């Protein structure tokens, strides 16, 4: 029954100081003395050998070499010679470790020091300016190439318009029996005037 004239207590009485809270787990490894005195290593679990799949390529090759051609003969050959794949070909985890030299250092190399002398001399600005000049020169060369390609190429007609061929001298046709006939009329006063006129 509740105490008269006092508020009801909502707590429980605790056990003494020699009480241990929690669950008691019985040790099977011997505790600290056993751990100090012995090295109980965990034995690796031996997994059961996995049955590898059949190597049909090798079996088919052997059956063809033996002279079998029908499906029934192939099945009999499979039962007689059950060839399985090799473990190294099937598993991708069995790889040889990489050959690393003894003085090999793992990690990332440290960043080189900042060249303050180049910064004071404005070397990076000069390098950038040289790159820009080279880029502009390359662009101008490309533009010249495009302009040359876009120009109209000269044909024989345009070339002959600029530099026409020399005109052929027209030679009139004469009868061969009239070529060696001398003139019947001479208008020169004398033979010297005739010579002088033809020499000019």
Residue 180 lies in a domain: no
Walking along the chain (200 residues) 10 residues at a time, the average pLDDT comes out as: 75 83 76 74 70 87 91 91 74 62 84 83 90 94 82 80 83 75 80 86
Residue 30 lies in a domain: no
Closest by CA to 75, choosing from 93, 91, 63, 92, is 63
Residue 142 lies in a domain: yes
Residue 131 lies in a domain: yes
Domain that holds residue 67: 52-86
How many folded domains does the chain comprise?
Answer: 2
Give the model's pLDDT for residue 17.
86
How many other CB atoms are there within 10 angstroms of residue 74's CB atom? 16
Residue 63 lies in a domain: yes
Residue 43 lies in a domain: no
Residue 10 lies in a domain: no
Residue 77 lies in a domain: yes
Full-model pTM: 0.25
């Amino acid at each position: 029954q509740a105490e008269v004239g006092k508020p009801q207590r909502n707590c429980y009485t605790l056990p003494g100081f020699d009480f241990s809270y929690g669950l008691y787990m019985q040790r099977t490894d011997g505790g600290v003395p056993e751990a100090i005195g012995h090295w109980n290593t965990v034995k690796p679990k031996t997994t059961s050998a996995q049955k590898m799949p059949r190597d049909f390529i090798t079996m088919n090759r052997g059956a063809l070499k033996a002279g079998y051609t029908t499906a029934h003969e192939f099945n009999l050959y499979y039962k007689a010679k059950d060839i399985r794949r090799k473990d190294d070909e099937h598993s991708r985890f069995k790889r040889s470790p990489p050959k690393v030299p003894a003085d090999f250092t793992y990690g990332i190399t440290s960043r080189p020091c900042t060249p303050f002398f180049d910064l004071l001399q404005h070397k990076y600005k000069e390098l950038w300016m040289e790159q820009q000049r080279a880029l502009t020169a390359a662009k101008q060369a490309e533009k010249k190439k495009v302009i040359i390609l876009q120009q109209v190429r000269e044909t024989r007609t345009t070339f002959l318009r600029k530099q026409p061929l020399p005109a052929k001298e027209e030679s009139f046709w004469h009868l061969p029996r009239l070529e060696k006939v001398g003139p019947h009329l001479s208008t020169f006063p004398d033979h010297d005037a005739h010579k002088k006129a033809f020499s000019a």
